[in-house]
Structure 1
Amino acid sequence: MSIDPRARPLSLPARPEATGGRRVGVLLSHGFTGSPASIRPWGEALAEHGYAVEVPRLPGHGTSWRDLDATGWDDWYGEIERTFLRLSRTCDAVVVGGLSMGGTLALRLAAEHGDAVAGLVLVNPAVHSTRKDLLALPLLKHLVGSVPGLADDIRKPGVTEHGYVRTPLGALHSLTRQWRALRADLPRVTSPLLLLRSAEDHVVDPSSARIIAREVSSRELTERVLPDSYHVATLDHDAETICAESAAFVSRVTAEGLPQGSRASLET
């Protein structure tokens, strides 16, 4: 198994002297068929503020799409949960973020670990789809195996996320069949939430953001529309906005003794 150097995990230490003496951690997850390359600049930008940053490589990613087809939801979530628990042991507070499926994993983590997740930053997360062809995945995964990839939905010219050129349908089915259970558990999510969604996204349709905003129990929910990016917004024209908004969010929700804001603070 050869790992693309661009897909290697990112791990940067906390600098408490930059964060008022508190050790603040941020766990970021990449999306389905992607790799840490798609969110590395985001993680590096947050580390500049003194936060410990962990960007794991999810099992089956960053090598070959055939490796991905040998993995599934339990493998991906297991890696995210292990990283979260390890980061929590060394930090006073941990914020979790993710792109696409990374946001899906972050929501499950928040549903399972409650207030231990100090905040959530989700970029184009997926919990639902209006695509009817996904209903045929249980059969298609045996007949077809894979289809052309979903990678590089990026508006900015000349940018690539170094994702897979093929999408394995067995792994995709493992993801989509988790959506129903996660949607049922969204009311268990109470962490402050920053939801960033692209105005034009060719991978995740707007139904996911609507469902998340409606169903979570977060005391504070802020929604931002990214006007100049497609799905992989972390590498697109709005990447600086994502970095700035998430850095300010992490600072606020991890400040010791700071009261939480109102859930009504939703903007579009």
Structure 2
Amino acid sequence: MPVLPGAEPYRHEGGEVGVLLCHGFTGCPQSLRPWAEYLAAHGLTVSLPLLPGHGTRWEDMALTGWQDWYAEVDRELRALTERCSTVFVFGLSMGGALTLRLAAKHGDAIRGIVVVNPANKVHGLSAYALPVARHLVRTTKGLRSDIAKEGVEEVGYDRVPLHAAHSVRNLFRLVDAELPQVTQPMLLLHSPQDHVVPPADSARILSRVSSTDVREVVLEHSYHVATLDHDADRIFEDSLAFVARLAPGVGTEGTAIGG
């Protein structure tokens, strides 16, 4: 099945410091591509995979679940760990939940994590209806392009398969239980005006992780897909500074030293 234009995975061979980026539910690498290219331009090794069932047709997503998406980022993380001496994981939305699960499971193999508008729960009555509704209705309206910046579009599905949405709900419940196992330094950036993931999700994550090195940044000018929005540069710069603080030898003004 052909991949949608812009949805292709992205990889860059840089220095000894690597970053894995995890995109969101029904989205694709396009939402994180500028972030990935920014990190690559500063000498980092970057991996931005396309999650199974994403970036093609929603019918393909209906055949996948959270185990498939998590397995993909877990494989990419293991490959990065073999290639790099220091590894970070970044994620947007559901990609933030995947990031948190990787952090809980891999411990010291991950030096730090950055999450943007991380999702923690499927909200509203629909969450309770999903176990039954997914057998009666195939799809619901899509979630893409919650962006304040005019003229910017997110590449993703305009329909959400209810089978996949039910799987996301199960993932969030699992990750929520695992949050106390997250101990890595964490940078969490979130938008007060987010029409997909409410600020309550970020607040709950901050209250439940065991990390002691935590910084919270509020993205006042962006909606959910903040990596393509007005605060994108803030996200890119703050995340690079985060990496540089924890991995000496990464220059915030230039390429990785010796990379």
TM-score computed with the length of structure 2 as normaliser: 0.94
Aligned to 1:77: 70
| RMSD over aligned Cα atoms | 1.0
The 5-angstrom pairing of residues 113-152 of structure 1 reads: 113-152=106-145
Pairing partner for 2:203 from 205, 210, 214: 210
CA distance, structure 1, for counterparts of residue 73 and residue 174 of structure 2: 18
Give SS of 1:164's match: coil
1:183 Cα offset (Å):
1.2
Deviation string for 1:70-120 (max 9, x for gaps)?
Answer: 000010000000000000001010000011000000000000001111110
Answer yes or no: is 1:9 the counterpart of 2:2: no
Alignment check: 8 A CA contact 1:128 1:207 kept? no
Aligned to 1:259: none
Deviation string for 1:10-67 (max 9, x for gaps)?
Answer: 00011x3xxxxxx000000110000000100000001111100100000000000110
Aligned to 1:25: 18
Alignment check: 8 A CA contact 1:26 1:54 kept? yes
Which residue identity lines up with residue 202 of structure 1 in the other structure? H
1:6 Cα offset (Å):
0.6
CA distance, structure 2, for counterparts of residue 145 and residue 183 of structure 1: 27
Give SS of 1:6's match: coil
Answer yes or no: is 1:156 the counterpart of 2:149: yes
CA distance, structure 1, for counterparts of residue 83 and residue 130 of structure 2: 41
Which residue identity lines up with residue 7 of structure 1 in the other structure? A
Aligned to 2:32: 39
Compare relative contact order (CA 8 Å, sep 6+) and give the higher one, 1 or 2. Answer: 2
1:5 Cα offset (Å):
2.9
Give SS of 1:248's match: helix
CA distance, structure 1, for counterparts of residue 56 and residue 171 of structure 2: 24
CA distance, structure 1, for counterparts of residue 64 and residue 75 of structure 2: 17
In structure 2, list runs of 5 or more residues that go unmatched: 250-259
Give SS of 1:81's match: helix
Deviation string for 1:197-216 (max 9, x for gaps)?
Answer: 01100000122111110010
Pairing partner for 2:177 from 179, 184, 193: 184
Give SS of 1:147's match: strand
Aligned to 2:187: 194
CA distance, structure 1, for counterparts of residue 26 and residue 77 of structure 2: 21
- How many residue pairs match? The answer is 249
**Which stretch of structure 1 is more off in the superposition, 125-134 or 109-118?**
125-134
TM-score computed with the length of structure 1 as normaliser: 0.91
